Amino acid sequence: MKNNLNKVIDFLNRKNVMLFVGGACCTILILVTILAPILELHDPTEMNLSASFMAPCANYPFGTDNLGRCIYSRVIEGSRISLTTASIVVILSAAIGTVVGLIFGYSGGITDAVVMRIVDIFLAFPTIVFALAVSTVLGTGQKNLIIAICCIQWTRYARMARGEVVLLKNAEYIEAAKAMGNNKFQIIFKYLLPNVASKILILMSLDIGSIILYCASLSFLGLGAQPPSPDWGAMISDGKDYLRFSPWMSLFPGLSIAFSALSFNMLGDGLRDLIDPRMRESVNPE
């Protein structure tokens, strides 16, 4: 029995089911985001007070909210806001953090030590608490939400990139690149960056799910996209006062957040196993 179970696990590991399932789910999310205007049954911001608090039915698959708006259409439209915000945050954070980590990690010395201590200070704060503080200072809105999360999220990429560069900068092929007359920036972006890119890609795919949760949490507190924009976190906040007799107002946006976060986490795990299997072996040694 145990041998059969091990064979099944080995088969699944070889086929990388996590990558397949995660990739399929993320593809569905992306298609929903792109095809949102076609998939929406009603205007997501249109109010119809005569249809308030309707339970899920053929005309309103996810029911309606307190203002008679179609929750199905609002969830579909909300996917565009959530995924767009998360993608922008990940791209900006990865770009800033990777460049900082590469440059200062390769340079070394006092500047590297100072920058890394600054990174440590940022990392000492819980992400959501730091983003909440920055959002409170900057004000509400999607742009300020992106800035608030980027202000702390870049440090993860800076630390990873710097750690990889410290391990690689004395390698033989780097010494050969120096001997060929390449300057500092050529070595960093031509020789070191390609070797760091795979780890950054894995971290980016894993981060999208977490950032969707951060955005939803801040939007729940009113710091994200403002009404009438259908943001998932704001929709949950709107429905919290009606959970007793209209639970679908918060249920479907909450399920959308959970599905999105789980999908990107599975995709990240699958990419990690595909690109760097040693990371999986170090966690599950035979």
Question: Do the domain assignments include residue 251?
Answer: yes
Q: Measure the CA–CA gap between 116 and 253, rounded to whole angstroms.
A: 38
Q: Which phi and psi angles does 64 have, rounded to 5°?
A: -125, 165
Residue 15's pLDDT is: 55
pTM score: 0.84
Structural domain harbouring 176: 2-45+64-283
Question: Do the domain assignments include residue 150?
Answer: yes
Question: Do the domain assignments include residue 270?
Answer: yes
Question: Do the domain assignments include residue 50?
Answer: no
Question: Do the domain assignments include residue 190?
Answer: yes
Question: Do the domain assignments include residue 51?
Answer: no
Residue 282's pLDDT is: 37
Please list, in sequence order, all residues whose beta carbon lies within 8 angstroms of the beta carbon of residue 128, skipping any fewer than 6 positions away: 214, 217, 218
Show the low-confidence residues of the chain (pLDDT under 70).
1-15, 276-286
Question: Do the domain assignments include residue 55?
Answer: no
Question: Do the domain assignments include residue 58?
Answer: no
Residue 132's pLDDT is: 85
| 60 in Cβ contact with 51 (< 8 Å) | yes
Where residue 247 sits, what CATH number does that domain have?
Answer: 1.10.3720.10
Residue 198's pLDDT is: 85
Number of domains in the chain: 1
CA distances to 66, 224, 274 from 47, rounded to whole Å, are 9, 21, 47
Residue 183's pLDDT is: 82
